[in-house]
Amino acid sequence: MDVSACSTWVEVDLGAIHQNVSLLKQITGVTVMAVVKANAYGHGIVETARAALAGGAGWCGVARIEEALVLRQAGIQAPILVTGYTSEQRLAEAMDFDVSLTVYAPEQAEIFSKVAQSLKTRLKVHAKIDISMGRLGVFPEEGLQFVRRLNQLPRLAVEGVFTHFASADEPKNPVTDRAIDRFQGLMDELGAEGLRPPLVHAANSATALYYPRARFDLVRCGISIYGLHPSSEALLPAGFRAALAWKARLTSIKTLPPGYGVGYNARYVTIHHESIGTISVGYADGFRRRLGNFALVRGQRVPVVGGVCMDQCMLQLDQVLGARMGDEVVLIGRQGDSSITAEEVADAWGTVNYEVVCGLAARIPRFYLGQ
């Protein structure tokens, strides 16, 4: 199947992912973990992971064991870290498939060790320190004791210690510097006891780019490998390229008479004879059910009119000369001299670019370019 057979599709430029990872490696000078959770932020987990590893990433990061197993089943042999919760029942799989897990509470560490002992295998763990998120992890003051205990527990291999910063995407906010100081303090304590594990890591994309002293041994980069800006304050440097485009095709075009309601509850009513096109993109694809959306047709920016339906929405095409059924429509990406970025869509939706791309539904076919 190719794009000509699809009513809507996503194109992912794997060359861009490859290049973005190489740039991150160059800029940071440390190992890059490609964060490919959530289907690689909507880009497709396996293809993205392969492109990132080819671009020089040394690790893959995922949120859940299920995601790690998808990578292993696809034959990806690079080290993988699950940064979230893993249930006791899944520990055997983690060990079988050589997946490293996050351990973030003393009682959990005891369970991990017991299971590993019962299976006579070694479980690789990274200790999580909670400095500013209020979610998983022990407080920095408890960090030394926690890592000491991890080192005593049989069958646990303490491979890493890490944290995650809450506000690194606001580089002017001093809280991140204070958080780095606290994490560094704990690393000094661990170092003094010879307990500093081989991999200390703290940085997501914004931290990796804006806080060089927080790069430690490895940076965990998600949004930047996709060529998307961490925030409007933490922009990517020149050279990064957005990898994803979201496209559709005009599936209908017709002239509606004045006073004709468009979509459920007639949230748009034509004023005069209006050219209205339809595309197979709806809220079930991740397009928000709101007024004020927009798209590109023949290089022109046009408004989405009426409510977004589950599988379709309508475009006002009066400004587009010669629009035809089958024409390509761009929801994110470039068309001629015009473009719509994920950041722009996020602004319109009152959210962040992360949510826009992560929300792209699994049912949208993905096509990979630049392989």
Ligand X SMILES: Cc1ncc(COP(=O)(O)O)c(C=O)c1O
Among 137, 222, 227, 306, indicate the residue that binds ligand X (CB under 6 A): 222
* Residues from 72 through 101 that contact ligand X (CB under 6 A): 83
* Residues from 18 through 77 that contact ligand X (CB under 6 A): 35
Residue in the shown chain whose Cβ atom is closest to ligand X: 222
Binding range to ligand X, per CB under 6 A, among 202-210, 285-293, 300-308, 335-343: 202-210
- Which residues contact residue 67 at a Cβ distance below 8 angstroms, ignoring those fewer than 6 apart? 36, 37, 45, 82
Q: How far apart are CA 189 and CA 185, in angstroms?
A: 6
Query: Does an H or E element contain 51, and which?
Result: helix 45-54
Q: Is 254 considered catalytic here?
A: no
Residue 190 interacts with ligand X (CB under 6 A): yes or no: no
- Residue 319: helix, strand or coil by DSSP? coil
Tell me the closest approach of the beta carbon of residue 338 to ligand X, in angstroms. Answer: 27
Binding range to ligand X, per CB under 6 A, among 91-99, 173-181, 200-208, 284-292: 200-208
User: If you write DSSP's letter for every residue of 327-342 in order, what string do you get?
Assistant: -EEEEEEEETTEEE-H
Residue 125 or 308: the one with the smaller Cβ distance to ligand X is: 125
Residue 201 or 247: the one with the smaller Cβ distance to ligand X is: 201
Query: Which residue is associated with the tokens 């928000």?
Result: 288
Residue 218 or 250: the one with the smaller Cβ distance to ligand X is: 218
**Cβ-contact 226, 357 below 8 angstroms:** yes
Q: Which whole-number Å values give the CA distances from 242 to 25, 105, 237, 369, in the listed order?
A: 17, 37, 12, 13
Residue 204 interacts with ligand X (CB under 6 A): yes or no: yes
Residue 8 or 132: the one with the smaller Cβ distance to ligand X is: 132
**Cβ-contact 53, 36 below 8 angstroms:** no
Q: Which whole-number Å values give the CA distances from 110 to 65, 149, 225, in the listed order?
A: 19, 9, 36
Residue 342 interacts with ligand X (CB under 6 A): yes or no: no
Binding range to ligand X, per CB under 6 A, among 6-14, 173-181, 218-226, 295-303: 218-226
x-marked contacts with ligand X along 146-185 as a string, rule CB under 6 A: ------------------x---------------------
Pick the closest to residue 312 from 7, 4, 6 (CA basis).
7
x-marked contacts with ligand X along 248-287 as a string, rule CB under 6 A: ----------------------------------------
Q: How far apart are CA 163 and CA 204, in angstroms?
A: 10
Helix axes 106-118, 140-152, angle to 10 degrees: 20
Give percent helix, percent strand, percent coil of the chain, each to the nearest 5.
Answer: 35, 25, 40
Residue 359 or 365: the one with the smaller Cβ distance to ligand X is: 359
Helix axes 175-192, 140-152, angle to 10 degrees: 30
Tell me the closest approach of the beta carbon of residue 221 to ligand X, in angstroms. Answer: 5
- Specify the pairing of strand 244-256 against strand 274-279: antiparallel
Q: Is 128 considered catalytic here?
A: no
Residue 229 interacts with ligand X (CB under 6 A): yes or no: no
Residue of 25, 37, 124, 128 marked catalytic: 37
Binding range to ligand X, per CB under 6 A, among 6-14, 144-152, 220-228, 270-278: 220-228
Binding range to ligand X, per CB under 6 A, among 223-231, 249-257, 264-272, 363-371: 223-231
Q: Which residues bind ligand X (CB under 6 A)?
A: 35, 83, 164, 204-206, 220-224, 230
Q: Which residues are catalytic?
A: 37, 264
